[in-house]
Structure formats: structure tokens, C-alpha cells
Amino acid sequence: MSNVTSFPLSDPGPSVAAEAEALNAAWVLLATILVFWEQAGFAMWEAGSLPKRSLNSILLKNMCDAAISAFAFFSFGYAFAFGDGGRFIGHSNFFMTGLSESDYPTWFFQWAFAATAATTVSGCMAERTRFTAYLVYSFFITAFVYPVVVRWLWADPGWLCAWGENGFAGKGMIDFAGSAVVHMLGGVAGLVGSKIVGPRKGYFTAEKDRSTFRGHSMALTTLGVYVRPRYRTRSLVASCASSHLICAPFARLSPT
């Protein structure tokens, strides 16, 4: 007789549920890495599209976007987006207090999107913004502006959330991959910023030779376009939003 203990198929044990949770977390982290990889694309694209004199400045701004957005989203952003509260803004979980370890992948995922929204603007206002002013903008958009919009669409209590109870007109709005929450927000912020700072001095006049404004490296610009796998990333991120489907068969087997 074999001395191996057997379990019925209907009760495989708690390890299956743990494995399903780990698989979901790994899938979210993979999608996060792809989203953050867009930062490299932004850096190459913007660096190649600018003259050499602005190369160090634009690359430093891209690096600072990632660092500042991490602190801003850690301290205030996540709380405004997903903390307890009403339809428009949250008011708990500041500095990630009260979050369980299972929420960390979600925070990481949302931070990558916040950094992407912030970096969109750096190219729009390149060569026309003081470095310190840009750092203030980067913190403000990732600590408050972006999180509030996320609250509206991606948090259950949000007034535009399609899967929550407060969806506008009973339907809300679906934005799986961030075309509105991330890219439209960043684009509008870039448009407003460009309007405020105005064009480069001499670009539309005869004061300077326009060739002095040309990008210094078409190779970097082209690589930046390829590195930013926008549509492939969006497809994966959209699937990530429904990543529980991957583990649905295992979840059905797990004991209640």
C-alpha cells in the first residue's frame, strides 16, 4: 500500500488559490514593465527630435519624471485615486498606509501610467521651461491631476466608472488601456503648457535660422518610435485589466 495522502479534486487545498494570486500579480507586473518601457521610448524620441544643446536637459527631465512621480504617487496620488471617499476624490491610504501586500502590484501598475502621463508633456514644452518649474509641474500632475481623473474612471466609486454603482447615466465610460485617462490627459496638459509658454524664440520669425531648431539624430527619433510599443502595450494592458480570467479555472477549484 502506498503511504501517499490523496485529496479529492473538489478540494485541492489553499495552495491553488495562492498560486492563482501569484500568477495574477506576475501578469500585472509584466504589463507594468511594458508600460514603463515607454519611458525609454519617450527619452529617445524627444532627445533625437531636439538639437544637441537641449540633449542633457530633456534626458534629465525624463529621469526626474520617473523619480518624482514615484514619490508623488506614493504620498498622495494613490490615496486620491483609490482611497476611501466619494465619486470625485479619495481621502485615505496616504503614503500607502493601510494597504495590504496584495495591493502593491496595483500601485506599481498605476504609478507607471502616472509617469507616462507626466512625460508626455516634457516634449511639448521642450527648450521653453525652466528646470525647477518643470519639476513642480511633474509633482503636481502625478500627485493630484492624474489621480483625480483615475478616480473618476478606474476606481469603483468614480462617477464615470463603468463597473461601479455610480457610473454616469447608469453606464459610465470604459477605458481599459488609458487612451483617455493617460494619453488624452497628457496631451491636454501639453497643449495647455505649450499655449502658456509659447513657441521657441525666433522659430516663427526671421531672427534665427530655423535649421538651428532641427533634431540632431533621426536614428534616436526612429528608435524612440519603435520602443514605444503603444498599440501592443495597450492590448496587453487591456488584457491585464481582466487578468483574473487567466486564473478563473483555478479559482473555481479553490475551496470556499
What pLDDT, in 10s, does the model give residues 31-41? 888 888 888 98
**Region 151-169 average pLDDT:** 89
Query: What pLDDT score does 34 carry?
Result: 85
Could you give the number of structural domains in the chain? Answer: 1
Q: How far apart are CA 11 and CA 99, in angstroms?
A: 30
Check: CB of residue 83 under 8 Å from CB of residue 94: yes
Give the per-residue pLDDT at 237: 53
CATH code of the domain covering residue 32 = 1.10.3430.10
Q: Among 120-129, 171-180, 184-193, 199-208, which is the least confidently predicted range? A: 199-208
pLDDT at 166: 84
Query: pLDDT tens across 111-140, in order?
Result: 999 998 899 888 888 888 899 999 999 999
Cell of 90: 479619495
Question: Using an 8 Å Cβ cutoff, are 97 and 83 in contact?
Answer: no
Q: How far, in Å, are 50, 116, 144, 168 from residue 35 at the CA level?
A: 24, 8, 20, 29
Paired residues of 173 in beta bridges: 161
Q: Which of 82-86, 90-94, 116-120, 247-251 has the lowest mean pLDDT?
A: 247-251
7 located within any domain = no
The predicted model scores a pTM of 0.80
Confidence of residue 247 (pLDDT cuts 50, 70, 90): very low
Residues 6+ apart with CB under 8 A from 226: 41
Mean residue pLDDT of the chain comes to 82
**Is residue 206, in this structure, part of any structural domain at all?**
no
The one-character DSSP state at 102 is G
In a domain, 151, yes or no: yes
Q: Which residues contact 62 (CB under 8 A, 6 or more apart)?
A: 39, 42, 43, 46, 119, 122
Q: How far is CA 121 from CA 1, 58, 95, 116, in A?
A: 70, 11, 26, 9
Reported residue count of the chain is: 256
Residue 208 lies in a domain: no
Residue 207: inside a domain: no
Q: Are 236 and 32 in contact (CB under 8 A)?
A: no
Query: Angle 41-191-123 (CA atoms, 0-180°, nearest 5)?
Result: 30
Q: What is the mean pLDDT of residues 42-65?
A: 91
Question: Which residues are paired to 85 by β-bridges?
Answer: 90
Structural contact between residues 70 and 148, judged by C-beta atoms closer than 8 angstroms: no
What percent of the chain has a predicted confidence (pLDDT) above 70? 82
Locus of grid cell 496595483 = 106
Instruction: Answer yes or no: is 149 within a domain.
Output: yes
- Which pLDDT value is given to residue 142? 96
Burial 127-150, CB ≥16 within 10 A → b, else e: eebeeeebbebbbebbbbbbbbbb
- Classify residue 4: in a domain, yes or no: no
Residue 169 belongs to what domain range?
14-200+215-253
Q: What is the pLDDT of residues 2-39, one digit of tens each?
A: 454 444 545 555 688 888 888 888 988 888 888 888 88
Is 5 within a domain?
no
Q: Note the pLDDT of residue 67.
A: 94
Three cell numbers, residue 72: 508623488
